[in-house]
Structure formats: C-alpha cells, structure tokens
Chains A and B, each alone.
Chain A
Amino acid sequence: MKKLIALIICLTLCLGAVAAMAAEPAKVKIGFIFLHDENSTYDLNFINGAKEACAKFGIEPILKTGIEETEACYEAAADLADSGCDIVFADSFGHEDYMIQAAKEYPNVQFCHATGTRAHTEGLSNYHNAFASIYEGRFLGGIAAGMKLNQLIAEGKITADQAKLGYIGAYTYAEVISGYTSFFLGARSVCPTATMEVTFTGSWYEPTLEKEGAAKLIANNCVVISEHADSMGAPSECENNNVPFVFYNGSAESACPNTYIVASRINWAPYFEYIINAVANGEAIPADWTGTIATESVLLTDLNENAAAPGTAEAIAEAKAKMEAGELKVFDTATFTVNGETLTSYLADVDSDAAYEKDTEVIADGYFHESEFRSAPYFDLQIDGITLLDTKF
C-alpha cells in the first residue's frame, strides 16, 4: 500500500512537472528597432505594445531606439539576429529595405516589419509585414470631429459652409492618404457640409514643422484639426489657440486638457503576442497580418468630455457596432466622388514595383477593399472635398 501511494505521488509529481514544462513556453528572444524614442508618440505606442506583450510571456525584449532608415537599420537588425534573437521587429516604413537585406542573410530569424508593403511579393519565408485597419479607427475619430463641427454650427460660431477641418500629414503616399481620407469620411458622415485642408511636413517627427502646419491651418480658418505625424507639435499649437483636435497614437489629454477630443491608435500588443506565440510553437507567420477592431488592434482612447461635443460617445459606439456587423464600410463608394464621379472600379498599386504599376482591382461590392490584399494601406485616391495645400513631399 505504501508503495502504491509512493508510486502515485511520484507519478503525480512527474505529471505535474511535465505539465509545468508544457505550460511554460520556450523563451523567445525578441529585438525591436524603433525609428525614434519614447518622445515620439508613434514609437511610444510601439514601445508600450512591445513591453506589454513581452511582460505577458515573461521575456525581456531588447529595444533599440533612434535607429534611422539607413544602413543603421540593417546593422541593428543583423546585430540583433547575431545576438540570438528569434524575432526582429522594426517599426518604420523606411526600415523595410534594410530588414529585407538582413532577412536574406539570416534565414532562421523571423523579421517582422510594421507598415511595409513588400513581404507578399518578396517571397522570403522569414520576412513579414503587419498593419492594422487603422482607417476604421480614424473614421471613428472623424465622427468625433464631425460632431464637434455640428456643435460649432449649432452654437452659431460657424455657418454650415465654414465647417472646415484641417489635417497635418507627414508624407504624400498611400498610408497617409488612406488616413486623412478615412478621417474626413468619418466627419462627413455626421456633418455633410464638411470640407478639409491637408498640409504636409515631409518628416515623421518634426515638432516645429508640425506646429507650423497647425498654425497655417488655423489661420486658414480650419476649426477642427487632426494629424498623421508623430510629435506633440500640432496638439500644443491647437491647445494654445483653443482649437479642438483629434489625435493619433495615444492620448494627449494631460498636455491638452481643453482641446484634445479623442485619439485613435493601433494597439500592437496583439500582433507581438501573435508572433511570439507563432515562433514558440514553430508556426509560420503569414506575409501580411492586418489587425482589426475585432483583434483589439484598433482602439480609441477615452473621450475627453471637456472638448468632445455632446452625443459623441453614442455616435461612435453606433458606428463601431455597424462596422463590426459589416454594415458600414469606411470607403463606401457611395460616400465619395473623385473629380465629381462615383467610382465603380479602381486598380491600386498593391504589388510594389519601380514603375508603380497599378495591378489589383480593389473596388467590389460597392466599397474600396482597403488592407485586404496586403496589410499596408493602398488607398491613394484624391477625393472631392479635400484640398491639398502642399504636395512637395
């Protein structure tokens, strides 16, 4: 009997140990490359996601900040691979070429890159792109802006014709175009007379230029501002001039308590968890991964009641529910025109090539299929109602 008990105890212990071992995932080593440091709202959003995901797995990430979109990125990626990382991640569009270069050199290391466009055509099994359907988040942010316009009209501060939005963009390629267009469509879905002006800075992080951009838009009588660039330059200018704005990447409530309405952001933690799991389990990572509202990759920050128009939260919740049910498409072709015409067909440049050849039909079932043929946005139409002030970049 004693023997039996001893045997049972032994077995349970063994089983327990095995179970414990099985439950403990192999420690994955992951290295991150960031274009700027935590002073950039864009990079901070990635850094927070990285820390959050790694904390869940109990792993210590290696973070390299301030890595430029040059040979420095290749050197950082190769160095991380060399020092035993299973996954190397880079966060900026311009990092892509260098990540591919490193991926070719280290076939056993997974290279993941946010916002890039080349993974699905490059044919490397260890190079992957990721993005999220942030245009949905920006559309919801746009609704908050549109509600604000309606409030200003109702209060008699502006007429319906003066409902003009302003937007500060970094560059003039698809990622930014997709962003400001979805924001505008969101606003116009609640305020039909809305128009928008867009100015560009030619840099992802240039506080002075972003501040000047905001000042220019405010001088042009834009009454609600949003942006796609990474510093606090524009928000601080808006706060100083008491102009409400919708932010990107994270909350600005503490710095701009009176004018900050809401922000949309990509939550990268789900993607990081996904790739860490995939590597731990030896599963392949797809060439393109697009996070959605459903994967909690696209989030809105808490609404700032001081600045938001009454009813904003309800309007956003309603649109979000419709979006999740598939009833509301951001780029519904019935909601916008290009040169006065409604589009029924559009070839987008999905497969990157030197000649920018348009290669994929992206309009079907009455809407533009964004981020479906690859993760990074390819909506690059100039729709009516938006005025580009400068397109030198």
Chain B
Amino acid sequence: MRNETKREPLFHITKRSVLPWYKAWGIRGGAIVLALIVCALITTLMTHQNPFEVFATIFKASFSTQRRTWVLFQNIAMLLSVSLAVVPAFRMRFWNLGAEGQMLVGGLATAACMICLRDVFPNWLVIVCMVISSIVAGAVWGVIPALFKAKWNTNETLFTLMMNYVAIQLVSYFIIVWEVPKGAGKIGIINQSSQIGWLPSIGGQKYLLNIIIVALLTVVMYIYLNYSKHGYEISVVGESERTAKYVGIEVNKVIIRTMILSGALCGLTGLLLVGGTDHTLTTSITGGRGFTAVMVAWLAKFNPIWMIATSFLLVFLERGAGDISTNFGLNQSFSDILSGIILFFIIGSEFFINYRVSFRHASKQEGKAHV
C-alpha cells in the first residue's frame, strides 16, 4: 500500500448549481466586452485605426440612419421568428436542425403562388394562398422527421439536417424553372411592377408588418410554452419521456404535434422573407438563420422573451462586423472573422456559467464563490 501525498491538479472543473440570473448575465456581458476588446485589438493591429472608431462603427452600422435601424429590427425579427419556430421542439429535446429547409420550402410555396397564380387570382386571394401553402409546406417538411422518429425512432438531428439539402435542391430546381431571363440562373424580383403577392406595407414601412407579426408571435409563444397544457406536455417530454408516458402523455402525439407547429412557423418565416421583404427566391435567402436560431434559443435558455435580447445581440454584432470590413477597406471575410470571435466568446461564456473553475490554491477555501 502506497500512501503518496497526492498533488492536486492546477485547477479542476466542477458543475455549478444554477446561477442567479444576474450573475449569469454578468458573465455573458463580460464575455461580450472581452470579445469586443479582442475584435478592436485585431482591427487596430490590421488597420492602425483607433479602437474607439471600431466600436463607433459597430454602433453606427445599426443606428446611424433610420434605414439602418429599420433593417436591424427587420433582421432581428426574422432571426427571432425562426428561433421561436425551433424553440418548442428544442424544449422537448427534439433537435430540429431543419429550420433552414422548412423555411426554404415555405418560401418556395410562397414564390410558387406568386408566380403561378398571379394571372389567375386577384391579389388578396394570392396572398391567402401564399399564407396557407407556406405554412402547410413548412409543417409537412417538419413533420416528416417527426413521423419517422415516432414510428421507427430515427435520429431527428440527422434527419432534419438532411431534409435541408433536399429543400435546397428543390429550390435550385425551381429557380431554373422560373429563371428570368432564360439561362441566367436567377429569378430576380417577382412581380416587380404589379406587386402581386407582396405583403402589404404598413404606413409606408416595408419592414413594419414583419416586425409586428414576430412581436405578436413572441408573446403568443411565451404564453403557449409556459401557460398552456401543450406547453406543459412539451416540457415533461423534454425532461423525461418515461415520466411523460407514466403520467399518461402520448409522447409520439406530442412530438408530431410540436414538429408540425415548429415546421409551420418556419414556413411562416419563409413567407415573411419571400412575400414580405425579399420578393425573390434563392437558395441562400434564409441566410443561415435556421442554424443561428439554435444559438439564439440556446443562449436564451429557450425562453422566448430572452430570445429577443439574444437575437438583438447577434444581429447587432454581425451588422457591426460587416460594416467594419467595409469602412476600413477590408475583405468581407474579415467580418466573418470578427463574427467568429464574438460567437466564440459568447458560446465560451456558457461554459463558465455551467461550470466552476477552481484553482489549486483556492481549493483550500472551500465554498468561496469563483466567477
């Protein structure tokens, strides 16, 4: 029997119990400040510009003109909309990574109505068809993986992910069918002169309708998740399927129902993008929002109200990063680098919220808080 004095490691990591919200947000805030400092340092090193000018640029990117502020809110609304769509699925631990595809088919259905029905129906009827078909298309795209999960317990993460590529191919195909002019590989603005199927703009502001719809959606989703029977069932299924079965919840029914909802909302986002603002269809129209939404929802701990803040943060910083590369004459990839740094710090901060890092000398004073 050897009895060596065991040398403690330099630091060790322990799981934290739940942090009070203000501490958690303190850590997140600190991470963002750190991220901005690193971004400013890198930009300054590369361009020899005053770092404060870098920060000013980030701020100006969203607030220097009215238009920019509107675009900021439009982008927040779109990102939030997808995030709201995926959050019910995430709450029941169903990892819907297929928001991109569900949005795309929603957009595809919208564009199909705008193009195929423009000479057949009056404008209002075209819009009604767009709304119905986009929501149905998104729901169908979302429910297919759910059915497979319920019937054969397939892996929903992979399945939803693969459905994205099917949707992209489908959209690519129809772009070639509808391209203008023939051979150019793009649809361009649909019904630019007649404006058939364009969702109405409120008070001359083309983004306002989208923003109002998403604001309402946020409130409704919050109530649905926290104060409805469905919302409760989702939470129970997410906590433990066995518990859910034990208390008599039909798990498969909840999965299918929730994925219909999730897909339908993604389809609705596709409608808002194609019918509301962009009036075109491309394979990149979703702008990767289906994946960014995962982060928005996760950072906000699947709380729709907090998701407003997280989507604001991501959009604000991303627009700022984009303007830095324009203003300082840097390649567009530079904004990707800055966005990457910011995201790295934000995601990294979650580690420090969930885990405590204790150093060797500190471990003697057990119980002292380390942030």
Contact = CB atoms under 8 A, between A and B. Distances in A.
Interface in A65-123: 65-66, 68-71, 75, 78-79, 82-83, 93-94, 96-98, 100-101, 117
B280 A37 contact: no
Nearest to B75: A75
Query: Which residue, A96, A170, A173, A392, has most C-beta atoms of chain B within 10 A?
Result: A173
B282 A68 contact: yes
- Most A CB atoms within 10 A — which of B67, B188, B192, B279? B188
A79 B285 CA distance: 19
Contacts of B64: 83
A23 interface: no
- Of B68, B182, B284, B329, most A-chain CB atoms within 10 Å: B182
B65 A83 contact: yes
B228 interface: no
A65 B332 contact: yes
Contacts of A93: 184, 186
A171 B192 contact: no
A392 B177 CA distance: 10
B128 interface: no
A101 B278 CA distance: 11
Given A37-B332, A68-B284, A79 B278 contact: no
Interface residues of B, number: 28
Contact of B181 (A82, A202, A356): A356
B203 interface: no
A328 to B, nearest CB: 28
A65 B277 CA distance: 22
**Listed residue (A71, A79, A203, A392) with the most chain B CB atoms within 10 angstroms of its CB:** A71
B50 interface: no
Interface string B113-128: 0000000000000000
Interface string B188-212: 1100100000000000000000000
Contacts of A173: 181-184
Contacts of A352: 181
Given A71-B277, A94-B184, A63 B284 contact: no
B41 interface: no
B155 interface: no
Contact of A64 (B68, B184, B326): B326
Given A71-B277, A392-B176, A393-B185, A38 B331 contact: yes
Contacts of A393: 176, 183, 185
A97 B331 CA distance: 25
B232 to A, nearest CB: 39
Nearest to B332: A66
Contact of B188 (A96, A170, A356): A96
A63 B284 CA distance: 22
A82 B184 contact: no
Interface string B45-87: 0000000000000000000110110010000000000000000
Interface size class of A (residues with CB under 8 A): 35 or more
B68 A171 contact: no
B333 interface: yes
A193 interface: no
A172 interface: yes
Interface in B164-193: 176, 180-186, 188-189, 192
A69 B186 contact: yes
A89 to B, nearest CB: 15
A82 B67 contact: yes
A63 B329 contact: yes
A174 B181 CA distance: 9
A243 interface: no
Nearest to B68: A79
Nearest to B329: A63
B132 to A, nearest CB: 24
Contact of A94 (B182, B186, B192, B331): B186
Contact of A69 (B65, B71, B282): B282
9 contacts: A78-B67, A79-B71, A82-B65, A83-B64, A93-B186, A97-B188, A97-B189, A393-B176, A393-B185
Given A70-B280, A71-B280, A171-B184, 17 more contacts: A63-B329, A66-B332, A68-B284, A70-B282, A75-B71, A79-B65, A82-B68, A93-B184, A94-B186, A98-B189, A100-B192, A101-B192, A170-B185, A171-B183, A173-B184, A203-B185, A393-B185
In the A-B complex, the 7 residue pairs with the smallest Cβ-Cβ separation, listed nearest first, are: A173-B183, A172-B183, A66-B332, A97-B189, A71-B278, A97-B188, A94-B186
